[in-house]
Structure 1
Amino acid sequence: MVKIAIAGGSGQVAQEVIDALMATKKHEITILSRKGSARDMTSGIHFSAVNYNDKSDLAEALQGVHTVLSFIQLLSDTGNQSQKNLIDACISAGVKRFAPSEYSSSEVTDMPFYAGKEVIRDYLKKVNENRKVLEYTLFQPGLFLDYLGFPYKTSKHIAPLSTFIDFQHCRAIVIEDHDFFMTFTAAHDLATVVARAVDYEGEWPVIGGIRGNRVPVSKILEIGEKVRGRPFAIEKVKLEDLEAGVLKTSWTLQASHASVDEEQATNMLTTVLIAMLLSSAKGAWDVSNEFNELVPNYEFVQIDDFLAKTWEGKP
């Protein structure tokens, strides 16, 4: 049993991981909260009020903590200061292990919304450059397999998210003359492996790849046509157009939010789609398998089974 602190505990990925940690019935879990201190009597989880702008306050909250898992929202962390302060506080408090807010691709190439990940990776290297003062790993599961079930929700906490492979409408956008590998890992599998990583007694690898399924896009389309029972409409784009920020397709990603008008949403999602296609073509979503090797007996949800189950009987 170890004491674990969770930063950004209200997020979707954090909630998946918290559930997996609670299921082990081994650890004492504290959520670092901006709102106030409390205890959830039904789950036993503690909530500790912290000020992310105050390193000494953070360090006090982390006394006796063994592992800190960060799920801080990158886009809302101005200058990545909250995570930097959290890292400094971990070192001051003698925390053994830290995992920054990653949980996606291995690289951040062409994804400006992930720029904060690179900043924190560099910061962790810097604090350890003279001697190791904080053990850390970058949990990288690739893309959530659950997203291929859009618009249906296939995990407890992760909201559906559309991709350039649209199973609902049997269509896809691919890059001309490029068939690249991607890693898809079910959200539940990521959470379970993170929980097992907390129990791992050896030293964490810096790169923490979690590879549920490594498949080329052509294979995903092949499986898709099989489970959907009809061919997919494929639209091909040129790499050079994407590099220029141009997307020549008849459709883009789907999403809606009350605070964003339709035009803004379309522009934003087009930017995200271009980024996803470019980064995928350059190998950013083809992650490594360090934690597969450290938990060799774990059986991941397979993409064939997931898609067959998710889309069975769907219109």
Structure 2
Amino acid sequence: MSTMRIAVAGTCGLALIISREIQEQTSHQLLILSRTPQPGLISQGYQCQTVDYNDPTSIQHSLMGVDTVISTVTGTPQLRLIEAAVATGVRRFAPAEFEGRPSLRMVGDPLDRGRAAALALLQHYRRHIQSTAFICGVLYERFSVHGLAAHRIGVNSGIANEGDYILDARNMTAQAPVYDANNNFSTICMTSAYDVGRFVVRALDMVHWPSELTMCGERTTVNSLIHTVKQCRGRDFTHVQWHNPDLLKYELTLAQLAGDVPRQKRLFALIATAEGRYDFESPGYLNAQFPDIQPESFGSWFTRNWQGVP
């Protein structure tokens, strides 16, 4: 594939991982779009453009000559970005997904953050712009020291802090959606943000993008995930609540009656896990397409991340 101009929208941790991979491993021209000036990134040799997502002209100006947009912004800014991409003739657009299959997201999902609207808009413009949802399941970084927020990923999601999802590795407690609706062990696919970046960048050279592109670092049951963390920490869990979807929905009702919005978001994520939203056939499509990429295992990643933490 010939050299392309690639725009990465956003400066969160995942956006910078993808940007670094483009800059260091390809000959493509990279442009980082940011709401604020980025002198630090510019000093590292990155080309950055400050954009005003409330000004269509500003976005269109930034996208002139761009072949592909990879978005990590959500809500109205992403909708404006899609409209500008169509107006300027951008060929391909990857929306801010990087989770489970969008088709499994419930209507009115409080964790949506405008992503369903972005997919609907891309579907509306499907004759004008090609798009794909990069699906990686659960990011390993959800289980890192200080959580996703430490990597500046999903900061406004409500479930980005340490211990917000499934387990608290520091205090060794867990609220685990171990069973699905049929009382089978629930299964999730997980991938490190670094490996997501590698797969996304390799996909840039694909001639055609299907509507979804899956990747997976490791597919495991929630029960095995708990066991892996126990082994890596060398400590037993002091308290584990084992859940199925019905019990989680009952707890969600109680949280709604109490008006506890943070707890509601945590429970929605657990229900989504038990219902299989973060599970798909493994290995992922991109794993099969690029077998030379060997993702890091969760156990190896977790041990390295928590080394030295009491």
TM bucket normalised to smaller? 0.7 to 0.9
Structure 2 residue 104 is the aligned partner of structure 1 residue 102: no
Q: Give CA-to-partner distance per residue, 1:155-210, whole Å, 9 cap, x none.
A: 86658632212222222212474421111111111112112122x23211211212
TM-score w.r.t. the length of structure 2 is 0.81
TM-score w.r.t. the length of structure 1 is 0.80
**8 A Cα contact 1:67 1:97, kept in partner:** yes
Task: List alignment gaps of at least 5 residues for structure 1.
Answer: 250-263
Partner of 1:64: 65
**8 A Cα contact 1:210 1:287, kept in partner:** no
What amino acid does structure 2 have at the position aligned with 1:284? R
What amino acid does structure 2 have at the position aligned with 1:165? L
How many pairs does the alignment contain?
289
- Bigger CA drift: 206-215 or 222-231? 222-231
Q: CA deviation at 1:40?
A: 5.5
Partner of 1:194: 200
Q: CA deviation at 1:68?
A: 0.8
Please give the root-mean-square deviation of Cα atoms over the aligned residues, in Å. 3.1
- Equivalent residue for 1:224, pick from 205, 220, 229: 229
C-alpha spacing 1:241/1:91, structure 2 compared with 1 (3 Å): same
Partner of 1:45: 46
Q: CA deviation at 1:25?
A: 5.1
Partner of 1:283: 276
Partner of 2:191: 185
SS in 1 for 2:33: strand
Aligned identity (percent) is 23
- Bigger CA drift: 26-35 or 293-302? 26-35
Q: CA deviation at 1:113?
A: 2.4
**8 A Cα contact 2:186 2:222, kept in partner:** yes
- Equivalent residue for 2:117, pick from 115, 119, 140: 119
What amino acid does structure 1 have at the position aligned with 2:120? D
CA distance in 2, matches of 1:308, 1:154: 19
**8 A Cα contact 1:164 1:173, kept in partner:** yes
SS in 2 for 1:121: helix
Partner of 1:259: none
Q: CA deviation at 1:35?
A: 4.1
**8 A Cα contact 2:8 2:72, kept in partner:** yes
CA distance in 2, matches of 1:238, 1:152: 24
C-alpha spacing 1:126/1:25, structure 2 compared with 1 (3 Å): closer
What amino acid does structure 2 have at the position aligned with 1:20? E
C-alpha spacing 1:297/1:171, structure 2 compared with 1 (3 Å): same
Partner of 2:218: 213
Q: CA deviation at 1:43?
A: 2.9
What amino acid does structure 1 have at the position aligned with 2:22? L
SS in 2 for 1:227: helix
CA distance in 2, matches of 1:150, 1:113: 22
**8 A Cα contact 1:151 1:168, kept in partner:** no
Q: Give CA-to-partner distance per residue, 1:225-261, whole Å, 9 cap, x none.
A: 3223343232134533432453889xxxxxxxxxxxx
C-alpha spacing 1:38/1:225, structure 2 compared with 1 (3 Å): closer
SS in 2 for 1:69: strand
Task: List alignment gaps of at least 5 residues for structure 2.
Answer: 154-159
For 1:1-315, list aligned pairs within 5 A.
1-7=3-9, 9-24=10-25, 26-35=27-36, 41-72=42-73, 74=74, 77=75, 80=76, 82-106=77-101, 107-109=104-106, 111-128=109-126, 132-151=127-146, 161-162=162-163, 163-175=165-177, 177-178=179-180, 179-198=185-204, 200-232=205-237, 233-237=239-243, 239-246=245-252, 267-287=260-280, 289-312=284-307, 314-315=309-310
**8 A Cα contact 2:189 2:217, kept in partner:** yes
